[in-house]
């Protein structure tokens, strides 16, 4: 459903699930992103551990992914599975009190985009 909705909203990105935690990356027009993020925030099924924003992005990293579902097999193929799992574990344990993983997160996103 997210993939269909994101096509209409001109949002691209991916979703990854591991150990009870989702990692989501979305990109698109600022107003559509703000609307989607507000919808996610208000949905009681979700708990946002960390919201990272890159306002300097000049072009999309995943223009053809309306909402790609990343699997362990895919991530293992590009050797990022363990890094993402470690990041998810740390972020989940520390919540908002932990260190800022923004730089690391965007390096991973850029690696995925290649």
pLDDT of residue 80: 61
pTM value?
Answer: 0.64
pLDDT of residue 113: 66
- Report the alpha-carbon distance of residue 106 to residue 55 in Å, rounded: 12
Secondary structure E strands in the chain: 12-18, 21-27, 68-70
Q: CB of 14 within 8 A of CB of 65?
A: yes
pLDDT of residue 17: 81
**Per-residue pLDDT tens digits of the chain, which is 114 residues long:** 777 888 888 898 888 887 777 888 888 988 998 888 888 889 888 887 777 777 777 888 888 887 888 777 776 665 565 666 667 677 777 766 666 666 666 677 667 666
Question: Which class does domain 2-113 fall in?
Answer: alpha beta
pLDDT of residue 83: 63
pLDDT of residue 71: 77
pLDDT of residue 82: 61
């Amino acid at each position: 459903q997210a993939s269909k909705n994101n096509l209409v909203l001109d949002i691209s990105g991916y979703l990854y699930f591991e150990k009870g935690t989702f990692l989501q990356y979305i990109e698109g027009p600022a107003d559509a992103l703000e609307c989607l993020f507000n919808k996610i925030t208000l949905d009681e099924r979700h708990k946002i551990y960390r919201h990272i924003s890159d306002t300097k992005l000049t072009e999309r990293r995943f223009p053809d992914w309306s909402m790609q579902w990343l699997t362990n097999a895919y991530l293992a193929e590009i050797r990022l599975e363990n890094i993402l799992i470690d990041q998810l574990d740390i972020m989940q344990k520390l919540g908002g009190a932990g260190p800022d993983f923004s730089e690391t997160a965007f390096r991973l996103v850029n690696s995925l985009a290649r």
